[in-house]
Amino acid sequence: MKLSVRKGFSFGLTSGIITTLGIIVGLHSSTHSTIVVIGGIVVIAIADALSDALGIHISEESEIKHSTREIWESTISTFLSKFVFALTFIIPFLLFPLSTAIIASVIWGFSLITMFSLYLAKQQNLKPYKVVLEHLVIAIMVVVITHYIGDWVATFG
């Protein structure tokens, strides 16, 4: 896989998982509404994927060392990976009750983070448990923090 595509893919995958989990958990805690959570996932899949793609695009341009083609490869792979991975989180909400869908989404997200972390560790000849642990701790922090923020926001209603 070309470096420009790999860069966009890894950023989009990670951001797609972490951001979508945060939205899912936060919206669930504050609204307890399946339709609101699904709406949040769709919005993240589109708006945040476009935002992150533009961010990667500008970041790559600012380095002044990439060709126009490489910049666009990173941009497009960021958008597509974030968009696709974010949308996969809708599936549990279409198949299960809200509480079960939340658990399934967290398991799905943590599984994806674990699999990609194992891949990265192997590519870099690092100890897998360290890479997986580092990435999962961050993901867990996002889930816990957004849960409590959602609870706090619910107190305003």
The CA distance from 142 to 127, in Å, is 24
Tens-digit pLDDT profile for residues 123-152: 999 999 999 999 999 999 999 999 999 999
Question: Is 1 a residue whose pLDDT tops 90?
Answer: no
**pLDDT exceeding 90 applies to what percent of the chain?**
99
Q: What is the pLDDT of residue 8?
A: 93
* Across 85-97, average pLDDT: 98
Q: What are the phi and psi torsion angles at 156 (to 5°)?
A: -80, -15
* Across 104-120, average pLDDT: 97
HEC assignment per residue over 86-146:
HHHCHHHHHHCCHHHHHHHHHHHHHHHHHHHHHHHHHHHCCCHHHHHHHHHHHHHHHHHHH
